[in-house]
Each structure stands twice: as structure tokens, then as C-alpha cells.
Amino acid sequence: MSKQSTKKPCDSMPVKLNADPTEEAFAKLAWAIAHPARVQIMRLLIGREACVCGEIVDCLPLAQSTVSQHLKILKESGLIQGEVDGPKICYCINPDKLEQLKTLVAGL
Amino acid sequence: MSKQSTKKPCDSMPVKLNADPTEEAFAKLAWAIAHPARVQIMRLLIGREACVCGEIVDCLPLAQSTVSQHLKILKESGLIQGEVDGPKICYCINPDKLEQLKTLVAGL
DNA sequence: TTCCTTTATCGTTGATCTGCGATAGGCGAT
DNA sequence: ATCGCCTATCGCAGATCAACGATAAAGGAA
């Protein structure tokens, strides 16, 4: 099947994509998890309901400041949220945003 | 519900994430769609089965060289593939990779 | 062969990411 | 009030991305 056969390959009318703001939101969410450390953090939080920053640092081979930066990125994307608990900060996932991401990807 | 109540918030045993190579592959796929132009290209190709590079360029407000760069990135990620058709090149979705991406995201 | 079309690649510029150490701020404990 | 712990932020360095114009490569047509 090196040559295409049934599906008409190339020409139809030019579709003219409207600048859907969805694409930007989509790309932003995808970018939030487009780094191995952030994927790890997401999986860690999903598996544990909640976790203090210090423990996340212990689980990653990165400096505390770097982990804090990744947490900030994830928080800005809305995928996670942090709650102050005394001197510590408890991070947990935002189920709504996560569901939104899943829906967007599944809708591809 | 400012104070947590039922869910124990913070401390359990430290999980010690193993350096799963999955995270890297995941991040790579996510990064491929972490740009509005690439999301647009993906949606365009999904909606049309196949499309020549020139038409994709016409659909995006970007220079030809820039679009070609994005196509290269998507091709390297495996999400799309290009087939030479005379002087033109026909791009289409790689369903397997797309499914892999969906599975990874859904499995979060 | 010589053109013309189509696409990939090169080189450059500016912006952004990533990582770290050092430092500042907040909070509880003493 | 002071100390110590936890986290965020600030600078800095190096690397990578994003966008463009210009150019090269490949194939069909005349």
C-alpha cells in the first residue's frame, strides 16, 4: 500500500481554519505536561491525593528551586492547586482541569 | 472547606519514583502538540485524512518554512507521517501514535 | 535540457525554558 | 523575640524554540 488507493489524498477546498481560541488553551495544557518532571509530579499527585512540596522534591532528582518552578508552572496551568498548611504547602490535582485535558485529547 | 477534613492531606511514606522511561515518551508526545499551530495541523489532518503541505501552509498564518518546521516536529514525534506524491508531500495522521497519546493521557 | 512548482534545510535573531545556588519570607516551636 | 524549617523567588548560565527570509533539492512539464 505504498500508493494510495481509496482515500482521495490531497485536494479539496482549502479549509481556512478559524483561529479557535481552543487551540491556545489546548496547547497550554499540553505544554504543562510536556516535561518528564511535570509528568512525574502529576502522576505522583494523582496517586496520592495530596503531597507536600518537600516530599515531591525528595522524589525527584532535581533541586528544590527547580521543583518549585515546575510546581508553579503546573499551578499556573490549573492542573494542580496548592493549599497552605502551616509552614508547608499541600499540592493536589485539580480534577476539573485534568478532565478538561483528557477531554481535549480524547476529542482529537 | 478551607480546612481539609476527610482526606489525609500530607504525610505517607515517600514513594520514590522510579525513572520510568514512559515519562519521557509521554512528555515528548505532549510537547509535540504543545503549540497552537501544531494543534491546528493535527486537527486539520484528522478532519481531512490527508493533505499536502501547501494547503496546510495556506490554512495557517505562518511562513512556509515555519510550517515545514512544525511538520518536521510532528513527524519526528511519530504523530504524523509524510508520503511523497510526485513533487508534493502528502501528510496524514499516524493512528497508532495518536491512540498511544490518547491512552497515555486517559491513563493519568 | 530548461523552466516551474513544491518542499526541506540553512542561518540568524529574539524569546523562552531549564537548571542551579543563594536569598527572602512565612510559620510554628522554643 | 529568636531560632529553625519549609517554600517561593531572584539572578544567572546554557540550551532550546519560534519565526522568518533566502536558498537548495527534487520532480513534472514544456
Instruction: Give residues lining strand C (CB < 7 Å).
Output: A 34-35, 37, 62-66, 69-70, 73, 84, 86-87; B 52-54, 57, 64-65, 68-69, 71-72, 82, 87-89
Asked if residue A46 lies in contact with residue A23, where contact means CB atoms within 8 angstroms, the answer is no
Rg over alpha carbons for chain B, rounded to the nearest Å, is 19
Q: Round to whole Å and give the CA distance between A30 and A97.
A: 12
**Per-residue burial over B20-40, b = 16 or more CB atoms within 10 Å of its CB, e = otherwise:** eeebebbbebbbbbbbbbbbb
CA-to-CA separations, B61 to A40, B37, B56, in angstroms, rounded: 35, 9, 10
pLDDT at residue A6 is higher than 70? no
Contact A49 B7 (CB under 8 A): yes
Q: Round to whole Å and give the CA distance between B36 and B39.
A: 5
pLDDT per position as a tens digit, B8-17 = 333 344 444 4
Give the other-Cβ count within 10 Å of A42's Cβ.
21
Q: Which domains does chain A have, with CATH numbers?
A: 35-106 (1.10.10.10)
> In this structure, what C-alpha cell is assigned to residue A48?
496520592
Per-residue pLDDT, averaged over A32-37, amounts to 97
pLDDT at B20: 63
pLDDT at A71: 98
Please identify which residue in the block is written with the cell numbers 491525593: A49
pLDDT at B28: 97
B77-85: Cβ within 8 A, 24+ apart? B77/B28, B77/B29, B77/B31, B77/B32, B78/B29, B79/B29, B79/B32, B79/B33, B79/B42, B80/B41, B80/B42, B80/B45, B82/B53, B83/A4, B85/A4, B85/A9, B85/A10, B85/B52
Q: Which residues of B touch A23 (CB under 8 A)?
A: 36, 39-40, 43
pLDDT per position as a tens digit, A46-87 = 998 878 999 999 999 999 999 999 999 999 999 999 999 888
